[in-house]
């Protein structure tokens, strides 16, 4: 095997950390040596950043692999995976780097480990440019578990930009195979709920204002549903640093979940944060898909590995999703098709069906 490395161009499509996450996870799972070149070549700070390093080192440790080229700013890495093992693994971004992205890269791998795993992930739990941990637990978890596995996610401490300092413990057992999913029936929205939080020195009024503004914004468009957004003061011993934010979830009659979320920044008033999350949720409800724009790309690797044909209905296909599909086809040899939805109710909307013939990955250890 060692002669034939998979060659990945890290500058195409999404051109960032996502290519590293998808390609190293698939390389680890399939036991294929990998070289990624031109890492983040087009970004303002090219090459590896600290949070990418912690993700790569975690994958290396999960499988006792060999990793070369891992310095900050490096634009090329090589990775030689070995057998995936369970047990306790720790990854620390040492910054506000996202624990949710660490989870994204490691989860498919530990599903095919030899024994149960416990992942201690440290960094930002509610960080910019990444899913919030609340999204991971409230939306990603129930949907991804449809592939036929369970995981437990224990939020020990929340951490915010710029310090990080959060910690999440993920526990899961390996599976023999993943089942394909079929998420094509959206149903109708039955519930809207969420949480608006403040942590550290921020006054509780900020949480109440975010929640109230979000509720007002949603009521303009959806009048017949009770919108239940809880304002929350994070307990001092369970939050590191200062932060505020909001996540709002819509649930449908068929169990589909959509979210809108937003994080407070210095100088941005609370109402604006609430309205931004509400508008994101409403936009995700307009396209007629069964998953929101952030879940799309997170399901691609699982679809590629599953044993059979998976289908999801989406709104406009994001660049992250196109990137994940590209590398799942290149590295795992899964087959994807993306077609405009032909259902009558989707005729006027930008709705697509992503279909995948999965490779039926089998856990060699079980």
Dig out the tokens for 203 from the structure.
């006054």
Contact partners, residue 346, CB within 8 Å, separation at least 6: 288, 313
Angle of helix 293-305 versus helix 17-30 axis, rounded to 10: 20
Q: Is 298 annotated as a binding residue?
A: yes
Closest C-alpha to 160, from 260, 263, 230:
263
- What pLDDT was estimated at residue 75? 98
Six token digits for residue 252: 């449908």
pLDDT of residue 309: 98
Q: Is residue 33 within 8 Å of residue 6, measured between CB atoms? A: yes
Does the annotation list 64 as a binding residue? no
149, 178 Cβ separation under 8 angstroms = yes
Is 233 marked as a binding-site residue? no
Residues 6+ apart with CB under 8 A from 264: 202, 206, 210, 243, 244, 245, 270, 273
Q: Residue ranges of the domains in the chain?
A: 6-183+291-359, 189-286
322 annotated to a ligand binding site: no
- Same fold: 6-183+291-359 with 189-286: no
pLDDT computed for residue 3 by the predictor: 55
pLDDT in tens, 42-86: 999 999 999 899 999 999 999 999 999 999 999 999 999 999 999
267-326: per-residue pLDDT in tens?
999 999 999 999 999 999 999 999 999 999 999 999 999 999 999 999 999 999 999 999
The pTM score is 0.96
CATH for the 189-286 domain, from 3.30.360.20, 3.40.50.300, 3.10.20.30, 3.40.50.2300: 3.30.360.20
Candidates 52, 89, 287, 320; catalytic one: 320
Q: Topology of domain 6-183+291-359, per CATH?
A: UDP-n-acetylglucosamine1-carboxyvinyl-transferase; Chain (3.65.10)
- Active-site residue, 52 included: no
Q: Which residue from 230, 222, 263 is spatially nearest to 100, judged by alpha carbons?
A: 263
Rounded (10°) angle between helices 270-286 and 204-221? 30
């Amino acid at each position: 095997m060692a002669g034939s490395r998979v060659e990945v161009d890290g500058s195409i499509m999404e051109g960032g950390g996502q290519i590293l996450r998808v390609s190293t996870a698939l390389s680890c799972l399939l036991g294929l040596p990998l070289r990624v070149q031109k890492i983040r070549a087009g970004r303002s700070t090219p090459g590896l950043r600290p949070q990418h390093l912690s993700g790569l080192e975690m994958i290396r440790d999960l499988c006792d692999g060999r990793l070369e080229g891992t310095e900050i700013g490096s634009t090329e890495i090589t990775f030689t995976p070995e057998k995936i093992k369970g047990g306790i693994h720790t990854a620390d971004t040492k910054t506000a780097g996202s624990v949710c992205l660490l989870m994204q890269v490691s989860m498919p791998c530990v599903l095919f480990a030899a024994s149960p795993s416990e992942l201690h992930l440290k960094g930002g739990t509610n960080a910019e440019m990444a899913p919030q941990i609340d999204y991971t637990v409230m939306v990603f978890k129930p949907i991804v578990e449809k592939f036929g596995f369970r995981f437990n996610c224990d939020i020990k401490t929340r951490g915010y930009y710029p310090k990080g300092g959060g910690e999440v413990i993920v526990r899961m057992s390996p599976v023999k195979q993943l089942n394909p999913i079929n998420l094509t029936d959206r149903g109708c929205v039955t519930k809207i709920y969420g949480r608006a939080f403040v942590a550290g020195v921020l006054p509780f009024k900020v949480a109440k204002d975010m929640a109230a503004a979000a509720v007002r914004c949603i009521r303009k468009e959806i009048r017949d549903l009770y919108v239940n957004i809880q304002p929350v003061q994070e307990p001092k011993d369970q939050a590191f640093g200062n932060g505020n934010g909001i996540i709002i979830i819509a649930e449908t009659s068929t169990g589909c979940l959509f979210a809108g979320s937003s994080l407070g920044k210095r100088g941005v008033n609370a109402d604006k944060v609430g309205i931004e999350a509400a508008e994101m949720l409403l936009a995700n409800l307009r396209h007629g898909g069964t998953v929101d724009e952030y879940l799309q790309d997170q399901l691609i690797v699982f679809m590629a590995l599953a044993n059979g044909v998976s289908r999801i209905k989406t709104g406009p296909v994001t660049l992250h999703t196109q990137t994940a599909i590209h590398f799942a086809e290149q590295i795992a040899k899964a087959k994807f098709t993306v077609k405009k939805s032909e259902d009558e109710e989707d005729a006027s909307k930008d709705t697509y069906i992503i279909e995948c013939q999965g490779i039926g990955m089998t856990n060699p250890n079980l």
